[in-house]
Amino acid sequence: GAGVSQSPSNKVTEKGKDVELRCDPISGHTALYWYRQSLGQGLEFLIYFQGNSAPDKSGLPSDRFSAERTGGSVSTLTIQRTQQEDSAVYLCASSLVTGDYGYTFGSGTRLTVV
């Protein structure tokens, strides 16, 4: 597609439920990133995928968070047993390759845990 597409744009869930967030990157971009942005905060790195290499999961805050990227394209971020502190905007970005290339971000998924 022309840009990075994320769905849903908004998600309200009850504490303890699982949620899945989807990201469809720009076609041909081999690198895909997930970040989290809380109110008044900068972007917190979560995980990134580069081609067929093992993902860098070093930013995931707990084992309730996981992500996969199927066929080198679409990615899904899953949060299990959601907590109120998980409420944030989850941003996905893609770039041609990892390195000094700029990222193209989606509009994000605003997650609210009640």
Partner 1 sequence: TQLLEQSPQFLSIQEGENLTVYCNSSSVFSSLQWYRQEPGEGPVLLVTVVTGGEVKKLKRLTFQFGDARKDSSLHITAAQPGDTGLYLCAGTSGNTPLVFGKGTRLSVIA
Q: Does 81 bind partner 1 (CB under 8 A)?
A: no
- Binding partner 1 by CB under 8 A: which of 91, 94, 111, 113? 91
Binding to partner 1, residues 16-75 (CB under 8 A): 33, 35, 40-43, 45, 48, 56, 59
Q: How far, in Å, CA of 43 to CA of 45, rounded?
A: 6
Q: How far is the CB of 35 from partner 1 (least distance, A)?
A: 8
In whole angstroms, what separates CA 45 from the centre of its chain?
A: 9
Q: How far, in Å, CA of 13 to CA of 114, rounded?
A: 6
- Residue 93 CB: number of other CB atoms within 10 A? 22
Among the residue ranges 14-22, 66-74, 77-85, 100-108, the one whose residues contact partner 1 (CB under 8 A): 100-108
Q: Which is nearer to partner 1, 63 or 100 (CB)?
A: 100
The residues that bridge with 8 in the sheet, in sequence order, are: none
The residues that bridge with 57 in the sheet, in sequence order, are: none
Is residue 21 within 8 Å of residue 65, measured between CB atoms?
Answer: no
The DSSP bridge pattern shows strands 31-37 and 88-95 to be: antiparallel
Q: Which is nearer to partner 1, 12 or 101 (CB)?
A: 101
Q: How far is the CB of 108 from partner 1 (least distance, A)?
A: 6
Q: Applying CB under 8 A, which residues contact partner 1?
A: 4, 33, 35, 40-43, 45, 48, 56, 59, 91, 93, 98-108
